Amino acid sequence: MTHTKKLLIGLMVLFASGAFAQQEVVLKISEGMPMIPLALPDFIVRGSSPTAQAAAQEIRQALSDDVKYSRIFQLLPKEYYAYIRGLDPDKIQFKDWDSIQARLLVTGEVREDGGRIVFDGKIYDVKSERFIVGKRYQAEKNGLRLVAHKMADELLKLHGEKPIFTTKIAFVSNRDGNDEIYMMDYDGANPTRITFNKIKDYMPAWSPDQRTIAFTSYRAGNAGLYLRNIYEGTESVVATKGTSYSAAFSPDGKKLAFCSTMAEEGNADIFVMDLETKKTKRLTFNAAIETAPSWSPTGREIAFTTDRLGQGTPQIYIMDAEGSNVRKASFGGNYHDAPAWAPTGERIAFVSRVDNSFDIYVLNLRTNQIGKITENNVRNESPSWSPDGRHLVFASNLSGSIQLYTVDYDGANLRRLTDRGENKLPAWTD
């Protein structure tokens, strides 16, 4: 069990019969809509505990960072609060908050109880002057950031969005001297090592339930595929015949697509394994190298890389999940690789080489328009989408060494996540 899972975090939703009344309110956010102005005043600390004071600041800072990252909410500057009366949690002055243009108000109260921190968070709709939802979390000191991330996820769910702040990013790092699989929080915090051996491990891929990672390892003398349950610490073999790599779970978690040379011809093709029966089906039959499968969110299609055009010019193709209806998806340029299908379904991110620079691009499948996400004359590769489809994590040597970064789908808000050793091949949980 990982360090995060060991955290003693209690969650209590207080319904109408308790201190908080909860209402089911879901507002789906459409792309292009203006961000929602959100007020996040300083949390109230009950008692004189210095530990509670520090906890209130840590939770609020992490929650503030999450809100800013969301691309859904616009955090109002703290100086705006100087123009209105101080917060009274027992009697919210909605007109005050409306006067500084807040649409949502998030309040928090923190206290220490038996050495643990208790956080009560509430969300209000300012315009309608009503309480929406309240959450209570209890945590040890090392779980305060997780408390903030859980509260931020409540904001996302309230607006019909997939939670992202409690998700994880798996990646490969040599920070301990050997390429191993690690995972970390979405913002780069709490890195945790997953594999422990003297053989190099590569290309992690998450199962939809976020409990299992498929990865490639050379522990059998060649590149084989393995599954590791990260909380139970158990492993199983998927494929060791030939060279097998670049795994991808189907959205329902029942199948695993991967690239392998296990066929008699010996070249790399796309295969799919039924994880229950262990039966493997070959999807591509081509003399070219075909690799990097990525499932569509519906599970009906698979994007992949192939150089079937020859002359070392890999392109992005799409086929039905059974291997039929193969068609080209990328056009222009002579090098396109590493497709990553966005969870929202309408975009595929990929790597393209132009003038010896590798950059991340995004293909809009609805309009066939391509947008360039990175542009810094370095090597940017291995894109992977956040669960809400608004952010990408990728590897880059922008800082000189290979490190992991996130960027929004439109190229904004570049953020560096790692700094120890070299880090690559990121995979964001679904």
What's the pLDDT score for residue 10? 40
Cα separation, 236 vs 29, whole angstroms: 41
Residue 7, pLDDT score? 36
Average pLDDT per consecutive 10 residues, the chain (430 residues; last block may be shorter): 38 33 38 84 94 97 97 95 91 96 97 96 97 96 96 96 96 95 97 92 96 94 93 92 95 97 89 96 92 97 91 90 94 86 96 90 93 90 97 96 96 96 96
Cβ-proximal residues to 80 (8 Å cutoff; 6+ apart), any chain: 39, 100
CA distance 34 to 322: 41
pTM beyond 0.95, yes or no: no
| Other CB atoms within 10 A of residue 256 CB | 25
Cα gap 296→339, rounded to integer Å? 11
pLDDT computed for residue 30 by the predictor: 45
* Contact assessment for residue 225 and residue 212, using Cβ atoms and an 8 Å cutoff: no
The per-residue pLDDT for 32 is 55
Burial per residue of 320-341, b for 16 or more beta-carbon CB atoms within 10 angstroms, e otherwise: ebebeebeebbeeeebbbbbbb
In sequence order, the 6+-apart residues with CB closer than 8 A to the CB of 177 are none
Report the DSSP pairing between strands 380-385 and 244-249. Answer: unpaired
Q: What angle do CA 403, 316, 354 make, to 5 degrees?
A: 55
**DSSP 8-state symbol, 198:** S
Question: What pLDDT is attached to residue 221?
Answer: 85
Distance CA 309, CA 311 (A): 7
Query: What is the per-residue pLDDT for 278?
Result: 94
pLDDT at 17: 28
Which domains does the chain carry?
A: 3-158 (3.40.50.10070), 168-428 (2.120.10.30)
* CA 70/CA 67 separation, integer angstroms: 5
In 10 A of CB 125, how many CB atoms?
A: 17
What would the two tokens of residue 420 be?
A: 């120890």
Can you tell me which residue has the tokens 């929650």? 63
Whole-Å CA distances, 289 to 236, 248, 310: 27, 17, 10
Q: Name the packing angle between helices 50-69 and 144-158 (round to 10°).
A: 40
For position 106, what pLDDT does the model report?
98
Query: Which pLDDT tens digit goes with each residue over 347-364?
Result: 999 999 888 889 999 999
